[in-house]
Chains A and B, each alone.
Chain A
């Protein structure tokens, strides 16, 4: 199959379209909120929606490299920063909806929750590790950090693992959803391991 190549103008257009699509999950929350259609427990709904999309965008970001390898569509890499930043954006909204809407900045209670509930620790760790990636996401930072910047991005692996662990630990009994995310993440990370091993044997 010939690689799908795009002109720079087409890449920009694709990027603009994907940028808008990626805003739909949060737009949906506002629309449902105004229509009073967020259900009986609207705050839980908002927290969960944002959490789901944070994790989903993380997995999408991790799909870029394999997809590029399989299709030869190198322009996909130009979408990665955007997806990564959306992962951070939804994680931030998720964290804020918990700290603000759910707990109303009751730091004592939040502190207790962090100390007592492993699932919150996993989520918080995942979020904290996302911060340096987002903070260094400008072109200037990239240039300045050079190879270190690439190294920094390997953080995305523990970030995603912690995100999935967070999900596993928070469900009461039905683990269907976290299992789905875990399987996809295992596949995505498994590919990297296989590539590494092959690279080493070729050398």
Chain B
């Protein structure tokens, strides 16, 4: 329901990562090695296993009063069309992404354009852990312990001008690293946008990790957006460019189908997607016989975000 101070989650509740890691390594022997060898990418496979743990992460100010989704599901069931359209493609094929070195460029309505390396982004603000619900437009959800910092801190550092009404984000555009971009399922590079007040909301997170570690490639390494009251596709991954604009950006999904995907894309159980009912959701990792649960307005974050939309017709502005 409401966001509670997160203190009731014992570290032991969190699925042991080692167990998962062993299993994946075993599976990787058969499939992964053959595949990587075929791609001539043995070295990249090794690189993927050198993820680091963050130290000194501040425990969360925000947290869902729910159990985190097991790591294997968070890192194994993803929509990241840059690596293929099936849910397992990102985990299977994202070894080609090189999250280091990485820089993000800041442009548009700012005092002066800048570039910032990922290492410096880590130091821009203290890293916090935030346990957020994530609701996908397809009717499933997870609870994910992100590591990151408020987007507001990045925006202050970027020094936007008074013309800046929106923030637009772009994913890396590189068919070598993101083979899925060779197919034209979406208009590449993937882009997304937020209104300035949404971007400045304390809930809005620039995530650089999950489960205390640097982001796995399939989750959008090395840096991604997290807006827990919006459908998951707003959380753009592997960001290389942030642009401040006066006009409302047109996102990749809006371009794909303006009738199905709106700019706001706030979680709303009363407004159905043409394909999926949004009234209920399936919580991933809760087992075969767990029923669907009711979806909450703004994904349960109404207290933090509802005031930004007061007076707006949320059926029209979906």
Interface positions of A (Cβ within 8 A of B): 33, 38-44, 101-104, 109, 112-113, 116-119, 169-170, 172-174, 176
Contact = CB atoms under 8 A, between A and B. Distances in A.
B275 A172 contact: yes
Given A109-B280, A113-B277, A119-B275, A39 B87 contact: yes
Given A109-B279, A174-B85, A176-B85, 13 more contacts: A33-B288, A39-B76, A40-B77, A41-B87, A101-B288, A104-B291, A104-B292, A117-B272, A117-B274, A117-B275, A117-B276, A173-B186, A174-B81
Nearest to B287: A42
Given A40-B76, A116-B272, A172 B138 contact: yes
B245 to A, nearest CB: 25
A199 B186 CA distance: 46
Contacts of B275: 117, 119, 169-170, 172
For A38, A44, A103, which residue has the most chain B Cβ atoms within 10 angstroms? A44
Interface in B85-103: 85, 87-88
Given A39-B88, A109-B280, A118 B274 contact: yes
Nearest to A103: B292
A121 to B, nearest CB: 12
Given A104-B292, A174-B85, A174-B185, A41 B277 contact: no
B1 to A, nearest CB: 21
A39 B285 CA distance: 9
B117 interface: no
B23 to A, nearest CB: 10
B292 A40 contact: no
Contacts of A103: 292
A40 B277 contact: no
A136 B137 CA distance: 41
Contact of B284 (A40, A117, A119, A176): A40
B58 interface: no
Contact of A41 (B72, B276, B284, B291): B284
Contact of B140 (A41, A101, A176): A41
A40 B87 contact: yes
21 contacts: A38-B288, A39-B87, A40-B73, A40-B87, A40-B285, A41-B284, A44-B140, A101-B289, A102-B282, A102-B292, A104-B292, A112-B277, A117-B272, A117-B275, A117-B277, A169-B275, A170-B275, A172-B275, A173-B185, A174-B183, A176-B85
Interface string B25-53: 00000000000000000000000000000
A175 B234 CA distance: 22
Contacts of A176: 85
A173 B186 CA distance: 8
A112 B88 CA distance: 30
B256 interface: yes
A42 B72 CA distance: 14
A39 to B, nearest CB: 7
Give 8 nearest A-B pairs by CB, closest first. A40-B77, A174-B85, A40-B73, A104-B291, A40-B284, A174-B185, A173-B185, A42-B288
Given A39-B77, A40-B76, A41-B140, A173 B277 contact: no
A198 B85 CA distance: 43
Contacts of A39: 76-77, 87-88
B284 A43 contact: no
